[in-house]
Structure 1
Amino acid sequence: MAAVYKSMSKQKATGRRQDEAEAESRPKNRQKLLLVSSRGVTFRQRHLLGDLNSLLPHSRKDAKLDTKSNLHQLNELADLYNCNNVMFFEARKGKDLYIWLSKPPNGPTVKMHCQNLHTMEELNFTGNCLKGSRPVLSFDAAFDKQAHTRVIKELLTHTFGVPQSSRKIKPFVDHVMGFTIADGKIWIRCYQISETEAGKQKPDQENEEPAISMPKAGKGETNVSLVEIGPRFVLTPIVILEGSFGGPVIYENKEFVSPNQIRSDLLRAKAGRYNRRAEGTLERKVKRRDLGLNTGEGRREVDELDERVLFA
């Protein structure tokens, strides 16, 4: 028995050494994300930053940045915290939110406009996931059709992909982050991977359709469904820069319309309606004055059918 035990222990030791050698030979995915916001963010945008920080265990949240023009300071800040990914929330006029994704120190950088923002607390979905778990990133096939979408896909992969070597992660994969392209925008959703046994499913859950359901499992197997967690938001790409927060523009979205321009057009349309009403009121006053309908204004011509001529 002692000889068998020694041989088995030697085999286990050699197996461990081989596994360790293979692990050392593999390239390690070292990704660390820095989450920073500018001054002037609203409560909803601040809550979105907190939700992303809780979903991404390899992220580090820092204090607000005082400047919006000298964004190259973020490269020094990322180098200080040993981060190779930066997500910067730029708030404008207390209404608009722009999200910058960058790979310091050499780039590239993509600037996107964030719309239709909904946080976890606001949505109050039933889904839930373990804090610190790793997500499965699901990308639409449209990301591989154009050059700029492939660059954006790579940046999203490095930003939202939690590496296995992170210190704060849990050894579980229990949620999915979906990235879909529609109408020139990137729609981001987060779902929980829910597994239930076919025999233990409640009667009220059988009639209720989940958000996304898989094919029905056989006897002794589990039913897998996706339940949305949140948050949800939509990103519109604006420009892609070659460097990190600087450099030449390698892509520009010609179809993007600034929210300032949209608000200006709406105000101009309202002002045009008011101007037309004011001009109509002025024309009516001038016409009444010319006809002599206003007391003490204009001259009223006396014709043959006037009362002063008929009943003279």
Structure 2
Amino acid sequence: MDIVVEHLTKRYGPQKAVDNVSFRVKAGEVLGFLGPNGAGKTTTMKAISCYIKPEEGDILVGGYSIHEHPEMIKKNIGYLPENNPLYQEMNIIDFLEFIAKIHSVPKYLIPERILDMVRTCGLEGEKHKLIGELSKGYQQRVGLAQALIHDPEILILDEPTTGLDPNQIVEIRELIKRIGKEKTVILSSHILAEVEATCDRILIINNGRIVVDGTAEELRKQAAGNEILKVGIQGGEVKDIFDLLFQIETIESVDFIDVDKNLFEIQSKPDSSSVKSIFDTCVKNDLYISELTPTETKLEDIFRELTLH
């Protein structure tokens, strides 16, 4: 089921939390919604889930508009809010039965759906416990189970690993990846590694606007521009090697990283690679390469550059 967001704008008082945002999520895609706190992620997700109405724009979920058919959309969406509101005094089975009834799951299907969710979300050993007795990690699993109990085609997860320890984070990410093979998923986070580990595509939002849209690899390529290499070359004087490198046609610039170790940083010209030329030059001049490493632009650097202004 596709999601199409068109010119979405939502204000809180004089402030635009979301400012003319447009994007599309294809059926079966896992989309990472990335941005600093207060960027507009949660507001956008609440609008898609029909929990709030925008002042401007529209959202189509499977062709249904949030303005005209919110009830149809809600049937097809499972939503896990950031604060994961659960009834602490209920046990897991009773809670999931209650949520299934709210979603109008047919009575005869409810026991089967509960068993399926307990198995899918790894709750077998805890299913008879009160929710208030569970660890934060298991409470997140219950939150995922309640979002999935009515078998929605779309799953919206707002900061699903907030407050979890490292082991719990890994477990929840693996669970999301498994679920993502069968459903359309939008996952918001301010943790880069999480989005990269679980998502097919990344949207970065800042100050209510989308500033970038693409895969992690595309973002790196886009930010990296020219090829940058860290190269160690031995067998000659550092100045002579520097001069030889500078004569290579595909090389834009050469800089020293460590003169004593003959380590250089080389930037190639746009749309060029200098690896073969460096190798050929070394062979021709009886030099040898001790190190040749592409310098990859980190996703953290891209994120910082895009969201710090």
TM-score (norm 1): 0.25
Indicate the structure whose relative CO is greater, using CA pairs within 8 Å and at least 6 residues apart: 2
